[in-house]
């Protein structure tokens, strides 16, 4: 399922005398997650699309209404059969904000034929634009402000 991890020690053994560079450094890589994010977001979208929709709607609407209220509205409208129309509106809004083309077919057609696929596409589009879907609008804006206001790290100059 996961791509194989390259064995640097095996390749480095023939090129460097002594210990290999990979064994000289401490292992600081994070532990792999239980499942890749695209699998977990896809599963959540398949079994409870209103959660994914709520996250998308909060970011598209810039924080108002909240994820919970958007997700609840989507769930209630889904009970009446109008959930696809409601989520289609947000797909069009997302396209307008990021100047995306309406291809290969109309937004409403995508949401009526495969709503889970449409929500996964929107989720991935927002992630590709740098949003962390799990923390909401305010936390994403705080994160962006911190990136802008932090002073760049200056490395000390060379000394004798």
Q: Give the CB-side neighbour count of residue 55, counting CA atoms within 13 A.
A: 23
Question: Please, what is the Cα angle at 148 between 93 and 142, to 5 degrees?
Answer: 60
pLDDT one digit per residue (tens) for the chain, 160 residues: 455 555 544 444 444 444 444 444 444 445 444 455 556 677 888 888 999 999 999 999 998 888 899 999 999 998 998 888 899 999 999 999 999 888 778 888 988 888 888 999 999 999 999 899 889 899 999 988 887 665 666 777 766 6
**8 A C-beta contact, residue 41 and residue 117:** no
- Considering only CA atoms, which of 143, 146, 116 is closest in space to residue 56? 116
In a domain, 19, yes or no: no
Decide if 46 is inside a domain. yes
Does residue 120 form part of some domain? yes
**Does residue 78 lie within any of the structural domains?**
yes
Residue 84 structural domain: 37-140
- CA–CA dist 22, 37 (Å, integer): 27
Whole-angstrom CA distances from 83 to 35, 98, 113, 120 are: 29, 23, 13, 16
> Is 45 inside a domain boundary?
yes
The answer to whether residue 112 sits within a structural domain is: yes
The verdict on pTM exceeding 0.85 is no
57, part of any domain: yes
Handedness of CA 27, 32, 33, 37 (dihedral sign): positive
Q: Which helix H or strand E contains 119, and what residues bound it?
A: helix 115-128
Please state the domain count of the chain: 1
Has residue 145 been placed in a domain? Answer: no
């Amino acid at each position: 399922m996961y791509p194989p991890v390259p064995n640097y020690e095996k390749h480095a053994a023939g090129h460097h005398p002594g210990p290999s560079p990979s064994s000289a450094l401490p292992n600081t890589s994070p532990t792999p997650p239980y499942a890749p994010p695209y699998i977990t977001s896809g599963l959540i979208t398949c079994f409870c699309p209103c959660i994914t929709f709520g996250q998308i709607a909060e970011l598209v609407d810039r924080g108002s209404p909240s994820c919970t209220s958007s997700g609840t509205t989507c769930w209630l409208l889904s009970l009446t059969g109008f959930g696809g129309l409601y989520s289609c509106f947000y797909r069009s809004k997302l396209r307008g904000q990021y100047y995306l083309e309406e291809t290969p077919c109309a937004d409403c057609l995508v949401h009526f034929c495969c709503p889970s696929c449409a929500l996964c596409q929107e989720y991935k589009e927002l992630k590709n634009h740098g949003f962390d879907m799990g923390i909401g609008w305010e936390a994403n804006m705080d994160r962006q402000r911190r990136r802008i206001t932090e002073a760049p790290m200056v490395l000390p100059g060379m000394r004798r």
